[in-house]
């Protein structure tokens, strides 16, 4: 059994027991999170595709931790002008552990 959910502008395929990193959510570690933006659910009986979401379906997760991704460096440069600019960025994320997939 698996589901395709949309969170943080991205789509993820998740199954019970998976651990995934998603865009930062405002939840405490250990809290239960319910993702209701389910685009597709696949079970033993077949797949259900939503229009645009599957009515009554939800993915129940537990927040494990918050963190920051690997640092990327942005470097801007214009030749012969004496202009250069260096900037770094670390994208924050929340790690979720998928507990169950509910189909309405």
How many C-alpha atoms does 53 have within 13 Å on its Cβ side?
15
DSSP conformational letter for 57:
-
- pLDDT by residue (tens digit) across 76-94? 999 999 999 999 999 999 9
- pLDDT by residue (tens digit) across 46-56? 999 999 999 99
Cα–Cα distances (Å) from 54 to 22, 49, 65, 76, in that order, read: 20, 7, 28, 44
pLDDT at 14: 96
Residue-averaged pLDDT of the chain: 96
């Amino acid at each position: 059994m698996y589901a395709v959910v949309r969170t943080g502008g991205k789509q993820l395929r998740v199954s019970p027991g998976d651990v995934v990193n998603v865009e930062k959510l405002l939840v405490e570690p250990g809290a239960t999170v319910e993702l209701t933006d389910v685009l597709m659910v696949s079970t033993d009986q077949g797949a259900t595709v939503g229009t645009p979401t599957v009515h009554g379906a939800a993915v129940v997760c537990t927040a494990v931790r918050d963190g920051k991704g690997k640092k990327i460096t942005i470097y801007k440069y214009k030749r012969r002008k004496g202009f250069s600019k260096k900037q770094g960025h670390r994208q924050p994320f929340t790690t979720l552990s998928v507990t169950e997939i509910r189909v309405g």
